[in-house]
Amino acid sequence: MLQGIVQFYLLDKQYGYIRVDGSLEEIYFSGKNSNIIFCKGDRVSFTIKEDKHGLTATGVIKI
């Protein structure tokens, strides 16, 4: 699993972006299927999948 920091999270839309540790890359993630409330600055672990829209973080959990 990768780790990173939530850079942005829009609570009412339940999506955000994670900056991957050791990189400037930011990956989109959705919190719609999670009971976790994310905030900017949260440390998280996740996996990445690729779909027609590009890279997406999945299985995002706070660490």
What CATH number should be reported for the domain holding residue 25?
A: 2.40.50.140
For 54, the token pair is 């590009």
Q: Give CA–CA dist 60/58, Å, rounded.
A: 5
Give the per-residue pLDDT at 30.
Answer: 94
Give the per-residue pLDDT at 53.
Answer: 86
Give the per-residue pLDDT at 34.
Answer: 85
Helices H / strands E in the chain, number of each? 0, 5
Q: Which domain holds residue 33?
A: 2-62
Give the per-residue pLDDT at 12.
Answer: 94
Question: β-strand 43-51 against 26-30: which pairing, if any?
Answer: unpaired
Spell out, as residue ranges, where the chain has pLDDT lower than 70.
none
Structural domains counted in the chain: 1
Give the per-residue pLDDT at 49.
Answer: 96
What mean pLDDT value characterizes the chain? 95
Q: Give CA–CA dist 15/9, Å, rounded.
A: 6
Give the per-residue pLDDT at 56.
Answer: 97
